[in-house]
Amino acid sequence: MKKAVVTPGEVVAYAEEFETKGAVYNTGYEYRAATLGIAAYDPKTHTAVVKPTRKPPIPQPGTVVYCQVTSKGRRAYQLRCFAVEEGRSLADMKYTITGVLPHFFSDGELGIGDYIRAKVVSTYGPPIIVSIRGPTYGAVLSRCPKCGTVLKRRGMTLYCPNCSTEVKRKLAVGYYTG
């Protein structure tokens, strides 16, 4: 297997020689590198794979992100995304990214200030579009809308131990119990 460093726009392979995967784009009969990366050529299977040297600055579709709800509109929630889930740990993003959670991608209600676990659906932005459909996605930490105390879970609802307010939220399986 032969490897080479490629720069954006550099010819990686020709269409009649290799099939390509990874960070490449097609310009007629030749494939060019889309990012700075390492090209690995396999002459037996006639494939060329370009792996970028850096992670993309915006989380890709399917990535799990943690966001805070900043506002609620008629059609969508506005979010501020600040962390990405990598394996079993969280990694802070270098910059916070704005996000949008349309109401048709949420199975329940959220409140302003809630911290949520969501999956990236589309990255034609920023803002990125996320979804909280599924049992592992939803609110992971919420505060009382009246007094600001962290809400505790009681069944499928949340209650405030300070002022006894009950609210309904779309909860993730790993909701913080305090």
Apex 172 CA angle, 170 and 176, nearest 5: 110
Helices (H), the chain: none
Handedness of CA 106, 130, 122, 126 (dihedral sign): positive
Q: How far is CA 17 from CA 4, 45, 161, in A?
A: 17, 10, 67
163 is in an annotated binding site: yes
67 is in an annotated binding site: no
144 is in an annotated binding site: yes
Q: What is residue 171's DSSP assignment?
A: B
CA 64 to chain centre: 4
147 is in an annotated binding site: yes
Residue list for the binding site: 144, 147, 160, 163
Residue list for the binding site for Zn(2+): 144, 147, 160, 163
